[in-house]
Structure formats: structure tokens, C-alpha cells
Amino acid sequence: MATAVNVNGENRYDRAGEVKRFDESKIGVKGLVDSGLTTIPSIFIHPPETLSDLKPKPKPKPKLKSQSVVIPTIDLSGPRSTVVEQVAAASRTFGFFQIINHGIPVQILDRMIGSIRAFHEQPTDVKAKFYTRDIATGVNFISNVDLFLSKAASWRDTLQIKLGPTLPELENIPEVCRDEVVQWSLHSEALGEQLMGLLSEGLGLDTDRLKNTTCLDARMMVGHYYPRCPQPDLTVGIASHTDPGVLTLLLQDHIGGLQIKHQGEWVDIKPVHGALVINIADILQILSNDEYVSVEHRVLANPYEEPRVSIAVFFNPSAREALYGPFSELTSPEKPPRYRQFVYHDYMRRFFTKELDGKTLTNYYRI
């Protein structure tokens, strides 16, 4: 129930108070669903300009042989030269691609999804012990990382765990997913190194160019949980945004809801069992001097009875005081740098003092 404050004789919605009360309850969106509500609280209702964009726009009659857009699926077991070419093409055109035959057994993927779902479906009082906006221990449970900055909250809860450069103390990782997280950290780091090598070669650089820029070292895992939303046409699972780091590796279950913006239209990333979704993030677009693209993406609110679960690993530089900008090998008098250099620490501070939205940090640093 929304509360109102009386200002000059008028009742006005007390958003700041509602947000504070929701956060202090430590129950998350799952707790709201468990309470039996049939309408979403006002803090989750997005503005008309966001809601009007949720439904597909009417399309002109398709031409002969026309088909819906599908992001590339790349078989990592193919010849390396072919894989490099496919990864580079997808990174230049879509900024997203799916990978198969990536070396991580499907049983490990399924167990990881199951363990994150198990964490979120524990009793509220068990999860509340992890609910904090401070990640000093390397582990926290929250609802909406930008809750106090956004115009409207989104319908999801999140378990965050720092994976690198080193894992948190094991006792700080929830027991219900501890073994799976440790295993996932090892697999995702190895796969991340492989992908960074392919992406470096796709730019015509040495295989270890991105790795040597510490782009593999700082890794953050988020385990998102999207329970059924009683009014999915009034909110979103995650608002449209781009990722601020270098590269994102995503494991999603079968429910769906992830969309990317391609040529001005929203395109579904349909789940493929056993596949992983990879996307270019803002820093890699900058390092590549716009060769690779970091594109807007979002998750729709979940209309189904079954919850949606996804696990993302964000790869970020660990050299926080270092200067970053376009690789010198990718600039020339004919193609000058398109971005000014910046200190990574300042860049991330700027990201975490704004809401998740479609405005990328690349625009701020563009020359």
C-alpha cells in the first residue's frame, strides 16, 4: 500500500519513504509475492515512456524470405580461425552471441541454476542475514542495485558474489549454493580467458592483449531471481541498460525474457539449453575504438508462475588506478581515438551514482 504525505494541503506519494521501508524489510520482491499481493507497489511502476516500449510495435508486411532476427550461436569447438571470425563478426554487429560446446558440462550449468534458485527460495529470515548494500564480505543479497537512484524499481532480487581476483571466505558464501559457486568460478574464469583471447585476435591483436590489461581479473557474479509478477505490463525485470565492464557471461534458464536492442528494435534472446550468452560491455567498446559494440538490453517482468533464474559474471579490470582508452594499435591518423582516456576507478564511481538506464558511459567519454 502506497503512503502519502500532505504538502500544502495536497496528498503526494512518498516514494522515498516507500523505497526505504521496502529495503529495510529485507524481504525482496520474492517476499512481496509470498505475501499474496495481486497488485505491485507503486515504487515498481515504470513511467509511460518505458511501458509503451514493452510491447512489440506493429511491423510492415514482411518481404519475401524475411525472417525474425536471431543472434548468432557460435560453436567454440570449430577451427580457431573460423571461431575468431564468427566471434568478431557477432561482436561488431550485435554485441551479443550465444556459445555452445564451450567445455562446461550441462550438468554443472543446471546445478548452478538450481543452487541460485534454492538460495532465493529459502525462508525470508535466512536470506535476510545476507541482505545489505555493503559488499565488504564479498557477498550480499539485495533487490535492485540502483533502488535509491532509479525512477522505478524492477521486479527481481539478486545475490551478488565477488569471484575475483579471489573468492570471499567460504563461510561467507551461502551454504545452499557454496559448492556450485566455487565450481562456477573456476569454469567461468577459464572460459572468460578463452573468450578474451578470441576477442583480442578478432581485433588483430595478440591473444593475451585483453588479459594483460587485467580485464580478466576482477569478476563479479550476480544470481538474479525473477518471481511471477502480477502486473507485468507495469514494470520490468531489469530496465534497459548497457554493462559497464569488459565482458559479460550469462547463464539463463528456460523461461526467457532477455531482449537486446538491434537496429532500433527489441530482439528476444531465446534460451538454448546448455548454451551461454556473451555480450560486449562498455569498456571493451572503448578499448576496441568502436570496433565492437556494447548494446542496450533488458529483461521483461516474468508473467509465468515459474520463476526465472539467471547468473551473470561480469569481467572487469583489476587495475583500478590505471588509465583506459582505445588501444593504440587500433588508432591511426585515419582512425583517431574516439574516446578520451579515463581512470577506471572514476569510471565505475560514475556508473554506481546513476540509475540503470539506456544511457551508456561510452557517451560521456566520447571525443
Comparing 53-62, 130-139, 166-175, 263-272, the range with the smallest average pLDDT is: 53-62
What is the distance, to the nearest Å, from the Cα of residue 57 to the centroid of all Cα atoms in its chain?
25
Averaged pLDDT of the chain: 92
What is the reported pLDDT for 350?
81
Tens-digit pLDDT profile for residues 285-342: 999 999 999 999 999 999 999 999 999 999 999 988 889 999 999 999 999 999 999 9
Comparing 32-41, 63-72, 205-214, 275-284, the range with the smallest average pLDDT is: 63-72
Give first-to-last CA distance, the chain, whole Å. Answer: 47
Largest CA-CA distance found in the chain, in angstroms, rounded: 72
The letter for the amino acid at 363 is N
pLDDT at 59 over 70: no
What is the reported pLDDT for 9?
40
Tens-digit pLDDT profile for residues 178-217: 999 999 999 999 999 999 999 999 999 999 999 999 999 9
Q: pTM to 2 decimals?
A: 0.92
Q: What is the dihedral of CA 348, 349, 350, 354, to 10 degrees?
A: 100
55 pLDDT band (50/70/90 cuts)?
confident
Tens-digit pLDDT profile for residues 267-298: 999 999 999 999 999 999 999 999 999 999 99
Q: What share of the chain is helix, strand, coil (3-state, %, to 5)?
A: 30, 25, 45
What is the reported pLDDT for 6?
39
